[in-house]
Structure 1
Amino acid sequence: MIIRKHEKACIAFFSLQALIVFLVLVMAISPTFAKKKPAKVIVAYVTSWTSDIPDPKQMTHINYAFGHVNDLYNGVRIDHETRLQAIVDLKKKHTHLKVLLSIGGWGSGRFSEMASDKITRAQFAQDCARVVKQFHLDGIDIDWEYPTNSASGISSNVNDTHNFSLLMKAIRKAIGSKKLLTMASVASGKYVAFDMLEPYLNFVNIMTYDSGNPPYHHASLYRSAMSGNTTCEEAVTAHIAAGIPAHKLVLGIPFYGRGNKQEVKSFIDYKDLLKLQGLEKKWDDVAKANYMVNEQGEFVLSYETPESIKLKCNFIVTKGLLGAMYWEYAGDTDEGILRSTVYTGIFEYSLYRYLRIVNNRT
Structure 2
Amino acid sequence: MTELVAYLHGRHEWQVENIPGERLTMLNYAFAKLNGVAIADNVPNIDRIPAIKAAYPELKINISIGGWAAEDFSDAVATAANRERLAANIVKFVQDYQFDGVDLDWEYPGVDLSGIKATPQDAQNFEAFLQELRRQLDAVSKAYIISAAVGADQELLAAMAVNGEYGYAAYLDYVNVMSYDLRGSWTEYTGHQANLFSYSSIDGALSADQAVQDLLQHGVTAEKIVVGAAAYSRDWVGSDEPSLPNALHRHAQSVGSQTTPYLDLKPLIADQPEHYFWDETAQAPYYFDGQTFRSFDDPRSLRAKADYVKHQNLGGLMLWELSLDPTADLIKAAHDQLNQS
TM more than 0.5: yes
Task: Choose which of 75, 93, 97 in structure 2 pairs with 1:131.
Answer: 93
Q: Which amino acid aligns with 1:280?
A: H
Identical counterparts, % of pairs: 27
More displaced, 147-156 or 187-196?
187-196
Gaps of 5+ in 1: 1-38, 353-362
Deviations 1:275-315 (A, max 9, x none): 447771111111111111123xx661111221111111111
Confirm or deny: 8 A CA contact 1:216 1:302 kept in the other structure: yes
Q: How much does 1:127 deviate?
A: 0.2
Task: Choose which of 282, 286, 292 in structure 2 pairs with 1:287.
Answer: 282
Distance 1:255 1:228 in 2: 21
Q: Which amino acid aligns with 1:306?
A: P
Residue 60 to residue 94, structure 1, CA distance change in 2 (3 Å): same
Residue 305 to residue 55, structure 1, CA distance change in 2 (3 Å): closer
More displaced, 156-165 or 212-221?
212-221
Distance 2:70 2:81 in 1: 21
More displaced, 283-292 or 298-307?
298-307
The match for 1:215 is: 190
The match for 1:328 is: 321
Distance 2:75 2:2 in 1: 36
Distance 1:68 1:173 in 2: 22
Q: Which amino acid aligns with 2:220?
A: I
Confirm or deny: 8 A CA contact 2:147 2:176 kept in the other structure: yes
Q: How much does 1:111 deviate?
A: 0.7
Q: How much does 1:79 deviate?
A: 4.0
Confirm or deny: 8 A CA contact 1:106 1:152 kept in the other structure: no
The match for 1:9 is: none
Confirm or deny: 8 A CA contact 1:42 1:325 kept in the other structure: yes
Residue 152 to residue 42, structure 1, CA distance change in 2 (3 Å): farther
- Confirm whether residue 45 of structure 1 aligns to residue 7 of structure 2: yes
Residue 121 to residue 288, structure 1, CA distance change in 2 (3 Å): same
Distance 2:266 2:54 in 1: 35
The match for 2:130 is: 168
Confirm or deny: 8 A CA contact 2:225 2:316 kept in the other structure: yes
Confirm or deny: 8 A CA contact 2:198 2:281 kept in the other structure: yes
Distance 2:49 2:61 in 1: 8
Task: Choose which of 59, 80, 89 in structure 1 pairs with 2:43.
Answer: 80
Confirm or deny: 8 A CA contact 1:294 1:300 kept in the other structure: yes
Task: Choose which of 198, 219, 223 in structure 2 pairs with 1:243.
Answer: 219
Residue 237 to residue 99, structure 1, CA distance change in 2 (3 Å): same
Distance 1:47 1:227 in 2: 31
Matches for 1:106-125 after TM superposition, within 5 Å: 106-125=68-87
Residue 227 to residue 305, structure 1, CA distance change in 2 (3 Å): farther
Gaps of 5+ in 2: 239-253
Distance 2:121 2:144 in 1: 27
Q: Which amino acid aligns with 1:191?
A: A
Confirm or deny: 8 A CA contact 2:237 2:292 kept in the other structure: no
Distance 1:125 1:345 in 2: 37
Confirm or deny: 8 A CA contact 1:291 1:299 kept in the other structure: no
Confirm or deny: 8 A CA contact 1:215 1:299 kept in the other structure: no
Q: How much does 1:76 deviate?
A: 1.0
Structure whose alpha-carbon radius of gyration is higher: 1
State how many pairs are aligned: 305
- If asked which structure has higher relative contact order (CA below 8 Å, sep 6+), I would say 2
Q: Which has more helix, going by share of residues? A: 1
More displaced, 90-99 or 238-247?
90-99
Q: How much does 1:228 deviate?
A: 4.0
Task: Choose which of 138, 151, 166 in structure 2 pairs with 1:195.
Answer: 166
Distance 1:261 1:85 in 2: 40
The match for 1:61 is: 26
Q: How much does 1:69 deviate?
A: 1.4
Residue 78 to residue 108, structure 1, CA distance change in 2 (3 Å): farther
Q: Which amino acid aligns with 2:215?
A: H
Confirm or deny: 8 A CA contact 1:88 1:137 kept in the other structure: no
Distance 1:78 1:51 in 2: 20
Q: Which amino acid aligns with 1:230?
A: L
SS of the equivalent of 1:89 reads helix
Deviations 1:164-214 (A, max 9, x none): 001111111122232111100111333213632222111111000111135
SS of the equivalent of 1:274 reads helix
